[in-house]
């Protein structure tokens, strides 16, 4: 288990962080490490984000997006190339998992190109179809929808209650065709 570097602060994102978030995510997307984010997407979901600052300098971001009463997605974990592999990504992921626990979310998942990173965090690979909420909400609008190359990963934080299981089962297991 890696430890966070000295001087690292993980905090809730502010609207003023949106430009830095978008630049970093899209820089890494150009390197085929993650999917890009639009300015509107970052601004609309700014409350989902945390940012990492190392000695006061923006060095990373990550988001926790609650998708249903029993599930949240960890997304857009991005670390500036100059400070990768020193524990910044891990510190942000741990913070996002802590937020999920505080919210009472029993399950978190991620779609990633970096399988080993999430395995170290206790995630396991699952089939895309095991995450119908993601498919229904996001994947249908993705340009890679018919040829997704991301790895779906899941981590159970705790067993869902009967009420959470019931609420989670109200969404169909596959997208509804809208005519």
| Domains in the chain with CATH codes | 8-168 (3.40.630.30)
Name the pLDDT band for 176 (thresholds 50, 70, 90). Answer: very low
In this structure, the number of other CB atoms found within 10 A of the CB of residue 10 comes to: 20
CB 72 within 8 A of CB 64: yes
Structure tokens at 100: 């999920």
| Whether residue 166 has pLDDT greater than 80 | no
The strand pairing partners of 9, in sequence order, are: 53
CB 96 within 8 A of CB 50: yes
Looking at residue 143, its pLDDT comes to 56
**Average pLDDT score over residue span 74-97:** 96
Single pTM value for the model: 0.83
The helix (H) or strand (E) run that includes residue 61 is: strand 57-68
68-98-74 Cα angle (round to 5)? 50
Max intra-chain CA distance, the chain: 55
Name the pLDDT band for 147 (thresholds 50, 70, 90). Answer: low
Distances (CA, A) of 101 to 46, 156, 168, 175: 20, 11, 17, 28
Name the pLDDT band for 163 (thresholds 50, 70, 90). Answer: confident
> 159, 66, 165: which is closest to 106 by C-alpha?
159
**Average pLDDT score over residue span 146-172:** 75
């Amino acid at each position: 288990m890696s430890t966070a570097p000295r001087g690292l602060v993980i905090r809730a994102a502010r609207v003023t962080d949106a430009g830095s978030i978008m630049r970093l995510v899209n820089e890494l997307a150009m390197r085929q490490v993650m999917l890009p984010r639009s300015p509107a997407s970052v601004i609309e979901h700014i409350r989902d984000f945390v940012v990492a600052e190392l000695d006061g300098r923006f060095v990373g971001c990550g988001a926790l997006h609650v998708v249903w009463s029993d599930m949240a997605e960890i997304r857009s974990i991005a670390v500036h190339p100059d400070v990768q592999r020193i524990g910044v990504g891990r510190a942000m992921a741990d913070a996002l998992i802590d937020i999920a626990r505080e919210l009472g979310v029993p399950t978190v998942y991620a779609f990633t190109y970096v399988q080993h990173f999430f395995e170290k965090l206790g995630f396991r690979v699952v089939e895309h179809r095991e995450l119908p909420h993601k498919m229904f909400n996001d994947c249908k609008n993705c340009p890679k929808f018919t040829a997704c190359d991301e790895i779906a990963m899941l981590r159970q934080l705790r067993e869902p209650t009967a009420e959470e299981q019931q609420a989670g089962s109200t969404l169909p297991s596959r997208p509804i065709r809208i005519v």
